[in-house]
Amino acid sequence: MQTYVKLSSIVEEYNLKPIVTPAGCGDIEITVADVNRPSLQLAGFFEYFDPARIQIIGMVEYTYLKSLTPDARFSAIERLFKEPVPAVIITRNMVPFPEFIECAKKYNRALYVSDYSTSRFTSAIILYLNVALAPMTQLHGVLVEVYGEGILLLGESGVGKSETAIELVKRGHRLVADDAVEIRRVSNKSLVGSAPEIIRHFIELRGIGIVDVKRLFGMGAVKDTENIDLVINLENWQQGKAYDRLGIDTEVVDILGIEVPSLTIPIKPGRNLAMIVEVAAMNARQRKMGYNAAEELNDRMMNQE
């Protein structure tokens, strides 16, 4: 399923000033993260032009159009607006030429003005679209931020993921998502997790029900998004199963084509899962900084021999 962002979301995110807004333009679906500055198109060159991109008019394009006669300016703008572009955005709060407004109305194209500088707006909207349009999957689990590390807790229903998360929140860490975690691949190395809007900041505790973490523990107890740095699989202790006791070999799990470090933690009465998750987060942070305690101990034992 192809992801998209509605134009209305971009207008709201960047507080764009509407100049021409045809009926239903807010529902236009933006499906590509790239944008275009149509300097060449205004000059008449349309090879390799992608009309699905948002068009951004900056100072260069504006100054070029200003140098043209009214008739030539109208022709240049009309060539652009004939294409089925989703929107044209003029930056730096520059006043649109009358030809912009006339062509936008003639071809039912959305026209907006932004007070951002061109470079700032271009970089900001590309970053926004890269995140919003990133490949996405949804997993049943809990995502928390512990000591700056994004920890994704997975396991069967009833294993204690939500209870562990609420204990971590009480210890000063932050909840990102409970039950359903939406994961987006925002780059070749990064995964970002969040909660579906409808259940954001809520957590379910069996026997108690739904809890609003933000209202109960305060704004500092929640976070909207977080990178996924470590996956912890919680499972009931299985007698006779060999669990890793040293941690020399790093396990990984593949999520959207990216390998994420993974641990399997067995559960049985008396284990303080919140404390174990805290230690796992700190240990994962140490490993990213180049120190591996298991390898250090192994080296000491080898040298002793």
Task: Report the length, in residues, of the chain.
Answer: 305
Catalytic residue among 120, 140, 215, 288: 140
SS3 at position 100 = helix
What is residue 265's predicted lDDT score, i.e. its pLDDT?
86
Closest CA to 175 of 158, 150, 208: 150
Q: pLDDT tens string for the chain (305 positions)?
A: 457 899 999 999 999 999 999 999 999 999 999 999 999 999 999 999 999 999 999 999 999 999 999 999 999 999 999 999 999 999 999 999 999 999 999 999 999 999 999 999 999 999 999 888 888 899 999 999 999 999 999 988 888 899 999 999 999 999 999 999 999 998 888 999 999 989 999 998 888 889 999 999 999 999 999 999 999 999 887 776 666 666 666 789 999 999 999 998 888 776 788 899 999 899 888 888 777 776 676 677 777 76
Catalytic residue among 6, 82, 179, 285: 179
Report CA dihedral (67, 69, 75, 80) to the nearest 10 degrees. 20
Q: Which residues contact 11 (CB under 8 A, 6 or more apart)?
A: 18, 26, 112
Closest CA to 226 of 288, 149, 166: 149
Closest CA to 178 of 140, 206, 142: 142
Q: Identify the structural domains of the chain with CATH numbers, from first to last.
A: 5-132 (3.40.1390.20), 136-299 (3.40.50.300)
Catalytic residue among 109, 161, 173, 174: 161
Strand order through the sheet with 17-20: 17-20, 111-113, 88-90, 54-57, 35-36
Is 241 annotated in the active site? no
Which segments within 147-255 are labelled E, that is strand? Answer: 149-154, 174-185, 191-194, 202-205, 209-212, 225-227, 230-236, 251-255
CB 264, CB 252: distance < 8 Å: no
Distances (CA, A) of 137 to 65, 92, 180, 293: 44, 37, 10, 33
Closest CA to 81 of 117, 113, 57, 114: 57
What is residue 206's predicted lDDT score, i.e. its pLDDT?
82
Catalytic residue among 189, 241, 245, 268: 245
DSSP H or E run through 280: helix 273-288
Is 179 annotated in the active site? yes
Is 161 annotated in the active site? yes
